[in-house]
Structure 1
Amino acid sequence: MCKVQEKEEKTSGDSLKNSTASNLPLGQVKGRVVTQVLACLVASLGNLSATAVYGWTAATLPSMEEDPDLVMDTADIAWIASIISIGCVIGSIFAGKATDWIGRRTMLLVMAPILSGGWVIVAVAPNIAIVLLGRIICGISTAFVFSALSVYCAEVPEGRLRGRLGLIPSLFMTSGVVLSYIAGVFFSWRISCYICLAPLILMFLLLWAVPESPYWYLLKGRKDGCEASLRWLRGQNYDFSADVAEMEAKIKSVGNKVEYQELWKPRTRKPLLLSLFVATLQQFTPGNILISYAGLIFISAGVENHRMAILISGFLQILFTLLSVLTVDCVGRRPLLILSTFITGIAAICLALYYLLTEVLGIYCPLWIPIVSVLTAVSGYCIGCRTVPPLFAVELFNTTIRSTASSVYLFYNRLLAFAISQVYPFYNEAYGAHVVFFTFGGLSIVSCLVAFFVIPETKGKTLEQIQEHFESQKKGKPNSIHPSSEVSADTSSGNIL
């Protein structure tokens, strides 16, 4: 070993002893940032179109109700909003293994024209039945996009960057919702479909320039491809030998044959339960309802300029998602989730009180109350509940099971989303908006309390370190992730890593 490397090792060792801020392996220089950012940005372009599918109904449902060519009742509205989740549930059954088979990047390339086709079918639909056909094709496609993208953006960055870069898909997710808002407010619902599919074309063209995940290459036994990918991502001067050795050792220890029963083995059971909990936490908040049905909710609350309120809601979503992306590696995943559920729950309860006073008791309340309540709820939702769960769910699993675990998480998440989106219009019609938002507000507060006690913190840790933690717990061994630092297993404080 040369003197320069010895000096770097000593410096890194001292840094680990004096601070837990750095988690780079000893002797390792930092990789090039710009190419890692570029890869995640290009891949995430598909999320603009994929999540526009979910936000599209917020601005277009009111105009679709006014379209003389369409006849819609409560059931039609519920199905238009929720059928994408059924499509996503169907797609998620196959998404994980398909992503492991052909690759994360390749899956995005394959799905781009299929998702575009779904948008076109909706745009030219002569009736509700064809609209639903296009929407379910979009839903199936989004399952593959979400699964491949979340894994890709977790595997491409170094540990020190994974929090911020791993949340880029969430930033583009929010931006996709806002894109659908803008398209729906300023254009007809048919033209808005073409606007929403445009990012897919850009992603398809640019994705040829970025590499496949290095983890996937190694999973397929292609060490040369793994090294070439790391060289492109980290830079020519980056010594990735330690990274490759650690990845190879992990794959060898867990094997590369993936079966669903692997998820219930001792080393993956707790990560699975945690990932399903954060999916539940995300859906128990009213965030998705407020995003998908924003236009109808503002109208029911008496907001005259509901289109402007929708646009303001969209831009606040971008702002707070960006805030989440910028702070997640400093603040951590757990605090953002706790804060998010608390804010969203309180805002939902305030909105419920407004409906109770005005619709049930007949007491006048100023219109700024529902506007502020909805805007606060969606902002709080975006700072944690929208952004953190997808990243957190893929961080917890080892390389060989990560795509499969992601598809299971997505299946469960979208099944809950479908149930809530499908039930909401009928629940609202039968019991009133005040009952709906008291229910969601209460569930959010309960989720906040449970999250405080069970959610661990993963910020700054490499994927291998996270896996080693759960495996060492099951073996009854002391946690040796950071031999030079104190490691707590106190989940009540959230600092189990």
Structure 2
Amino acid sequence: MAIDQHKDIENGIEKGLDDLQKPLIQQAKCVDSEGDDVIVSEKNGSIWMVLISTLVAVCGSFEFGSCVGYSAPSQSAIRQDLKLSLPEYSMFGSIITIGAMIGATTSGKIADLIGRKGAMRTSSAFCITGWLLVYFSKEAWSLDIGRFSTGYGIGIFSFVVPIFIAEIAPKNLRGGLATLNQLMIVCGASTAYLLGTVVTWRTLALTGLLPCVFLLVGLFFIPESPRWLAKMGLQKEFELALRKLRGRDADVSQESADIQASIDALQYFPKARIFDLFNRKYTRAVIIGVGLMVFQQFGGINGIGFYASETFVAAGFSSGKLGTIAYAIIQVPITVVGAILMDKLGRRPLLMISASGTFLGSFLAGASFFLKGQGLLLEWVPALAVSGVLVYIASFSIGMGAVPWVIMSEIFPIHMKGLAGSLVVLVNWSGAWAVSYTFNFLMSWSSTGTFMIYAGFCALTVLFVVKIVPETKGKTLEQIQASINS
């Protein structure tokens, strides 16, 4: 009965919004954190504060990339300076993902309790503390604590930055602004790779402080998420934040009413429980969300990314710097291409193209190590290894990096998003830890075997997408969920 009542409310809202969409008035839809579409009048409005707020928030995304990219160019120097064994460095490289798992699972509570800006401040504090511990480290334990702290920070960032952007952006800008999150993660990692080739590992740690500083300063000048303020019952602050985002002269009365209506409608949904994830009507959505994250991680991205420099050395390069620089440069433009193609080709084709490319890249890298082991075509081995890794990272950047997160945000019903999203994020970071921790051990066992295992997971990804994953491009959230449950 309660669900039916909510549907009647939603239908009434949607009908009223449709009546408002007149051709002579410039309007756009925006999406709140729960996925509801609401109308934003852009007449006499301004987007500058939305753009500024997004640029401030994605400093957290850049920090995310900096933390993830740190270990690749610094591995040999840290091991040499601090005399770390392979297991000790593997723990340092992978413990960031353990911190991120915990950060991601607590991020929803933190963001709801102290706001989106408060969550970003908390995340920055953990990252700054972590980088300082790494910089001053003289033993393995302080390195690990520092790396864990930065991991906890980026675990929060991984949740709160895209949520904040979705809650402040109008629909006609939301797609482009949302891609800035992934793009800035890639830019952060690429910057760490490039700087790591010319500065010491301690100096590189200090550069990780800069995005946090910019973020903390910028947060003083941007508004809190209006959606969160309304949810907390802070009506005056909600109106002020919305007006600041849309411009002083913009008419925000309709958008304000729509946001408030969507919040009021949520009371008709039963509170989600963990066991609800196993309900038959949510099973396929959970399989899709969890499955995509499993294949994203067990395709080997964090092993290849965290230890790229050493992989190139193992393949026969005297130094991994050249390959690492190429790795860094190629990510950014390919990620931009993927963002453009996402709403043109669709999610499924982009995933299949991307997974096929990562299969080819892994196969080429594995073949290079096989040739090296057999003493065949040794002059071609280094180039083949680098080519394989670059094909892999380019293919991953165009689809498998961003699309699973987009689909995850689309397939779950409104009242299940928080709980299901936490599960999916936990699976993602758990897989990231498993791959990053085992990579060096697998390479010691068999370099060829390691990349062929990753190639196998990439091939299975294509089959999974073909058989299980629906196309979500151009569909409303209700249409997506109806197609999943049909």
**SS in structure 2 of the partner of residue 125 of structure 1:** coil
- What is the distance in 1 between the residues matched to 2:105 and 2:39? 40
Match of 1:86 in 2: 98
Is the contact between residue 57 and residue 215 of structure 2 (CA under 8 Å) also seen in structure 1?
Answer: yes
**SS in structure 2 of the partner of residue 88 of structure 1:** helix
Match of 2:72 in 1: 58
**Given the alignment of the two structures, is residue 469 of structure 1 paired with residue 479 of structure 2, yes or no?**
yes
1:420 to 419, 423, 435: 435
**Given the alignment of the two structures, is residue 207 of structure 1 paired with residue 222 of structure 2, yes or no?**
no
Q: C-alpha deviations, 1:98-157, integer Å up to 9, x for none? A: 211211222102221221011000110111111011111111121112111121122222
Match of 2:4 in 1: none
Q: C-alpha deviations, 1:360-393, integer Å up to 9, x for none? A: 4644351321111111111111111222333332
Match of 2:85 in 1: 73
**Given the alignment of the two structures, is residue 145 of structure 1 paired with residue 157 of structure 2, yes or no?**
yes
**SS in structure 2 of the partner of residue 161 of structure 1:** helix
Match of 1:481 in 2: none
Match of 2:142 in 1: 130
User: Structure 2 counterpart of 1:337, which letter?
Assistant: L
2:390 to 354, 375, 380: 375
Q: Residues 231 and 113 of structure 1: is their aligned pair in 2 closer, same or farther, counting only changes over 3 Å?
A: same
Q: Residues 262 and 243 of structure 1: is their aligned pair in 2 closer, same or farther, counting only changes over 3 Å?
A: farther
Q: C-alpha deviations, 1:300-348, integer Å up to 9, x for none? A: 0112342121111111111212222344333333332222111111111
- What is the distance in 1 between the residues matched to 2:372 and 2:215? 47
- What is the distance in 1 between the residues matched to 2:179 and 2:259? 22
Match of 1:445 in 2: 459
TM-score normalized by the length of structure 1: 0.83
Deviation at 1:270, TM superposition (A): 4.4
Q: C-alpha deviations, 1:260-293, integer Å up to 9, x for none? A: 4386267755444332222123113232222111
Give the fraction of aligned pairs with identical amino acids, expressed as a percent: 23
**Given the alignment of the two structures, is residue 41 of structure 1 paired with residue 55 of structure 2, yes or no?**
yes
**Given the alignment of the two structures, is residue 9 of structure 1 paired with residue 19 of structure 2, yes or no?**
no
**Range moving further from structure 2, 386-395 or 372-381:** 386-395
Deviation at 1:181, TM superposition (A): 1.2
- What is the distance in 2 between the residues matched to 1:342 and 1:312? 21
Residues 162-311 of structure 1: matches in 2 within 5 Å? 162-236=174-248, 238-255=250-267, 259-261=272-274, 264=277, 269-311=283-325
Is the contact between residue 97 and residue 403 of structure 1 (CA under 8 Å) also seen in structure 2?
Answer: no
- What is the distance in 2 between the residues matched to 1:240 and 1:337? 38
User: Structure 1 counterpart of 2:459, which letter?
Assistant: I
Is the contact between residue 147 and residue 407 of structure 1 (CA under 8 Å) also seen in structure 2?
Answer: no
Match of 2:400 in 1: 385
Q: Residues 404 and 216 of structure 1: is their aligned pair in 2 closer, same or farther, counting only changes over 3 Å?
A: farther
**Given the alignment of the two structures, is residue 355 of structure 1 paired with residue 369 of structure 2, yes or no?**
yes
User: Structure 1 counterpart of 2:274, which letter?
Assistant: Q
- What is the distance in 1 between the residues matched to 2:214 and 2:310? 32
Is the contact between residue 12 and residue 27 of structure 1 (CA under 8 Å) also seen in structure 2?
Answer: no
User: Structure 1 counterpart of 2:479, which letter?
Assistant: H
Q: Residues 145 and 6 of structure 1: is their aligned pair in 2 closer, same or farther, counting only changes over 3 Å?
A: closer
What CA RMSD, in Å, does the superposition of the two structures yield over aligned residues? 3.1
Deviation at 1:299, TM superposition (A): 0.3
- What is the distance in 2 between the residues matched to 1:236 and 1:338? 45
Match of 1:479 in 2: none
**Given the alignment of the two structures, is residue 321 of structure 1 paired with residue 331 of structure 2, yes or no?**
no
- What is the distance in 1 between the residues matched to 2:249 and 2:283? 39
Q: Residues 140 and 335 of structure 1: is their aligned pair in 2 closer, same or farther, counting only changes over 3 Å?
A: same
User: Structure 2 counterpart of 1:35, which letter?
Assistant: M
Show structure 2 runs of 5+ residues with no match. 1-17, 29-35
Q: Residues 104 and 459 of structure 1: is their aligned pair in 2 closer, same or farther, counting only changes over 3 Å?
A: farther
- What is the distance in 2 between the residues matched to 1:10 and 1:49? 42
Q: Residues 224 and 352 of structure 1: is their aligned pair in 2 closer, same or farther, counting only changes over 3 Å?
A: same
- What is the distance in 2 between the residues matched to 1:271 and 1:250? 23
- What is the distance in 2 between the residues matched to 1:37 and 1:327? 22
Match of 2:10 in 1: none
**SS in structure 1 of the partner of residue 444 of structure 2:** helix
User: Structure 2 counterpart of 1:232, which letter?
Assistant: K
Deviation at 1:442, TM superposition (A): 1.6
**Range moving further from structure 2, 272-281 or 419-428:** 272-281
Match of 2:12 in 1: none
User: Structure 2 counterpart of 1:100, which letter?
Assistant: D
Deviation at 1:413, TM superposition (A): 0.6
**Range moving further from structure 2, 75-84 or 177-186:** 177-186
Match of 1:434 in 2: 448
Is the contact between residue 39 and residue 258 of structure 2 (CA under 8 Å) also seen in structure 1?
Answer: no
Show structure 1 runs of 5+ residues with no match. 16-22, 474-488
Deviation at 1:229, TM superposition (A): 3.0
Is the contact between residue 95 and residue 147 of structure 1 (CA under 8 Å) also seen in structure 2?
Answer: yes
Deviation at 1:206, TM superposition (A): 0.7
Is the contact between residue 164 and residue 328 of structure 1 (CA under 8 Å) also seen in structure 2?
Answer: no
**Given the alignment of the two structures, is residue 454 of structure 1 paired with residue 468 of structure 2, yes or no?**
yes
